[in-house]
């Protein structure tokens, strides 16, 4: 099985829209690896808005996003589209 | 009759605040994001929600006016348009993006446990109170750059409000219908207890209508930021506060819908009509958002963030507070209340916050979020 590198970002409590902007920045830096399925970006955040804007934004760019509950916030996983 | 009008006013405001705070938190109905994300990521989704709120309010307010339900018309505290409002709007736009929320957005985020919004709130109080220092000069500038005496566009053109408001609302309705057909009014929400923003837009429009019906004006809170700031300032420098013209003025003089006589209020530290209308609204929004966050178990303080975020919130809050007095008014007052009746001041404010939010977005990505 191929191993996937996870890049973890904790963006809790920061000024809006840090979560969306920093996720997109990270995604752009690792675009090829994420698209190839070798890397995924996992964001921990308390920003409710990001749970809608990140899937929307990365979806338009051709990636997939998955939102799960984590602690008192959310974990958003951005990866290649299957 | 002859009883005090204040219990009805205070209770209406508190309930309006609770409902607004709750639904705004659930939908993250952030007016700052509507304009900011337009420039930052070309995202028009939230702005469509604002169009929905405005179009529905246009129809509701116009029907309410024509049916004799809503008075006074136009509602109090709106002034004629001037260059001062436009400039104030630009500064407001920059401030709200740097603060991470506008005058009301900061409240619901603060209620939900955002530490950075609490810092923005302190900046807002200080900025609003500081404005009193240059109010006489700014007020003279506003007077000198007035465009005319009209409060609303229909007044300026001397035509019945319906002749202008209904065609514009119809145009907006066509745009919304087409957006809805293309699936642009909804998007998946994964947050716990998420309320689709279109439902919140309709709820907030209804809350604004009820506020005007029972209190005599839609939602507004900015004067009491100055009032609260003045209250704190007068603990330290009572003589100075008492000597400032801005804190002496009684800008609000009107007869509420269910009152026997007129009431008045201003930005000074005293408890008056402004305090009765706006303090319960502020407390309501904070508590409504806190309740919403507690119910979905998301109330948690996150304060370990880069210091430049705190600096941005404080400076943005100061600018936002001062600008809200220079306009005067805020997003909620002008976009949800004034724009639907085509108030000249509100339209100028809208024109100002567009370049302001663009500038604020540039500053934000350059110095704060990186």
Q: Model ipTM?
A: 0.93
| Cβ–Cβ gap A13/B304 under 8 Å | yes
B113, B300 Cβ separation under 8 angstroms: yes
| Cβ–Cβ gap B305/A14 under 8 Å | yes
Residues 314-353 of B with CB under 8 A from A: none
Cβ contacts (< 8 Å) between A29 and chain B: which residues? Answer: none
pLDDT of residue A66: 95
Considering only CB atoms, A46 lies closest to which of B37, B300, B312, namely: B300
- Helices marked H in chain B — which ranges? 6-27, 31-41, 45-66, 83-99, 105-111, 115-130, 135-144, 153-157, 161-181, 197-215, 222-236, 238-243, 245-248, 273-295, 307-326, 331, 344-363
Cβ contacts (< 8 Å) between A12 and chain B: which residues? Answer: 302, 305
pLDDT of residue A82: 79
pLDDT of residue A2: 65
Considering only CB atoms, A49 lies closest to which of B30, B188, B369, namely: B30
Q: CB-based contact (8 Å) between B308 and chain A?
A: no
Domain count, chain A: 1
pTM greater than the 0.80 cutoff: yes
Tell whether B213 is covered by a domain.
yes
CATH code of residue A15: 3.30.110.40
Q: How far apart are the first and last CA of chain A?
A: 16
**Structural domain boundaries enclosing A69:** 5-80
pLDDT of residue B1: 46
Q: CB-based contact (8 Å) between B259 and chain A?
A: no
Indicate the SS3 state at residue B353.
Answer: helix
pLDDT tens string B110-156: 999 999 999 999 999 999 999 999 999 999 999 999 999 999 999 99
Question: H or E stretch including A55?
Answer: helix A50-60
Indicate the SS3 state at residue A38.
Answer: coil
b/e sequence B351-368, b meaning 16+ C-beta within 10 Å: ebbeebbbbbbebbbeeb
Cβ contacts (< 8 Å) between B25 and chain A: which residues? Answer: 48
pLDDT tens string B214-245: 999 999 999 999 999 999 999 999 999 999 99
Tell whether B246 is covered by a domain.
no
Which residues, given as ranges, of chain B have pLDDT below 70?
1-2
b/e sequence A42-72, b meaning 16+ C-beta within 10 Å: bbbbbbbbbbbbbbbbbeeeebebebeeeeb
Tell whether B265 is covered by a domain.
no
Residue of A nearest to B110 (CA): A13
Q: Tens of pLDDT along chain A (82 residues)?
A: 568 999 999 999 999 999 999 999 999 999 999 999 999 999 999 999 999 999 999 999 999 999 999 888 999 999 998 7
Tell whether B171 is covered by a domain.
yes
| Side-chain half-sphere exposure of A39, counting CA atoms within 13 A | 13
Tell whether B262 is covered by a domain.
no
Q: CB-based contact (8 Å) between B151 and chain A?
A: no
**Structural domain boundaries enclosing B106:** 11-71+80-227+283-368
pLDDT of residue B2: 56
Domain count, chain B: 1
């Amino acid at each position: 099985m191929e191993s996937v590198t996870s890049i973890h970002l904790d963006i809790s409590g920061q000024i809006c829209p840090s979560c969306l902007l920093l996720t997109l920045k990270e995604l752009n830096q690792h675009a090829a690896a994420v698209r190839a399925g070798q890397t995924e970006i996992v964001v921990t955040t308390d920003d409710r808005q990001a749970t809608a804007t990140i899937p929307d934004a990365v979806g338009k760019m051709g990636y997939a996003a998955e939102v799960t509950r984590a602690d008192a916030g959310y974990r958003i996983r951005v990866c290649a589209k299957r | 009759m002859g009883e005090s009008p204040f219990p009805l006013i205070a209770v209406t405001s508190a309930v309006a605040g609770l409902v607004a705070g709750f639904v705004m938190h659930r939908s993250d109905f952030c007016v700052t994001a509507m304009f900011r994300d337009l420039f930052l990521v070309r995202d028009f989704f939230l702005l469509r929600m604002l169009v929905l709120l405005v179009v529905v309010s246009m129809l509701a307010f116009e029907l309410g006016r024509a049916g004799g339900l809503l008075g006074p018309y136009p509602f109090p505290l709106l002034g004629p348009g001037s260059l001062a409002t436009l400039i104030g709007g630009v500064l407001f736009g920059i401030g709200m993006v740097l603060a991470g929320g506008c005058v009301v957005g900061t409240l619901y985020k603060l209620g939900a446990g955002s530490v950075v919004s609490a810092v923005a709130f302190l900046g807002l109080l200080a900025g609003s109170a500081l404005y009193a220092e240059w109010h006489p000069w700014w007020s003279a500038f506003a007077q000198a750059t007035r465009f005319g005496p009209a409060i609303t566009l229909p007044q300026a053109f001397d035509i019945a409000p319906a002749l202008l408001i209904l065609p514009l609302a119809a145009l907006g309705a066509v745009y919304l219908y087409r957006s809805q057909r293309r699936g642009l009014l909804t998007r998946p929400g994964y947050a716990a207890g998420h309320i689709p923003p279109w439902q919140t837009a309709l709820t907030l429009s209804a809350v604004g209508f009820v506020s005007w019906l029972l209190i005599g004006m839609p939602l507004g809170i900015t004067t009491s930021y100055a009032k609260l700031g003045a209250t704190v300032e007068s603990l330290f420098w009572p003589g100075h506060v008492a000597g400032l013209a801005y804190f002496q003025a009684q800008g609000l003089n009107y007869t509420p819908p269910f009152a026997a006589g007129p009431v008045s209020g201003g930005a000074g530290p005293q408890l008056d009509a402004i305090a009765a209308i706006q303090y319960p609204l502020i407390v309501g929004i904070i508590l409504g958002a806190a309740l919403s966050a507690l119910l979905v178990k998301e109330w948690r303080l996150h304060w370990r963030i880069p210091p430049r975020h705190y600096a941005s919130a404080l400076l943005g809050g100061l600018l936002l507070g001062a600008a809200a007095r220079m306009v005067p008014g805020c997003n909620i007052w002008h976009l949800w209340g004034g724009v639907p009746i085509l108030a000249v001041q509100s339209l100028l404010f809208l024109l100002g916050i567009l370049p302001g939010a663009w500038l604020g977005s540039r500053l934000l990505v350059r110095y704060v979020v990186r």
